[in-house]
Amino acid sequence: MSKPLNEIKLAFGSDHAGFALKQELKAYIKEKVGAVEDFGTHSAESTDYPDYGHAVAAAIENGTADFGVLICGSGNGINMTANKHAGIRSALSWNAEVAELARLHNNANIVALPARFISTDEACKILDAFLRTAFEGGRHQRRVEKIAFEEKIH
């Protein structure tokens, strides 16, 4: 995707463990991107991460969002949930370099963050790297095309 940053529609989702970091990231990025939509949760009360992982993945699938940001305690559960959706390539990222490579080589469309293991400052760096990096294509394109599972009957 080659949209300018100020035209990107960004979808956020988190469980209770990621709620505070999500609020910080939304405030940080809202003036830089075209639109931000928060699919919840909307408090720090205990909740289930799949609800928000599915909602953000669906927004990307149906085109109402360009990219997603998902946050839970470890980042794992919400990342696994999003990756159950066809066409979603969610990447668990704990530093900016991992996020950059996820976009550059894997054409990731969601970044998943481990709220209990990174600072707000590091999360901002990760989000910046994720959003400023374009997919390289080339030799990576055929690999990305092989990610989606298609059962072949012989």
Specify the amino acid at residue 142.
R
Query: Burial code of 6-39, b = ≥16 C-beta within 10 A, e = fewer?
Result: eebbbbbbbbbbbbebbbbbbeebeeebeebbbb
CB proximity list for 122: less than 8 A, separation 6 or greater:
94, 95, 96
- Which 8-state DSSP code applies to residue 138? T
CB 66 within 8 A of CB 29: no
Partners of 73 in beta bridges: none
Report which DSSP code applies to 53.
H
**Strand arrangement, sheet containing 67-72:** 35-38, 9-14, 67-72, 110-114, 90-92
Any idea which residues carry the catalytic annotation?
72, 105
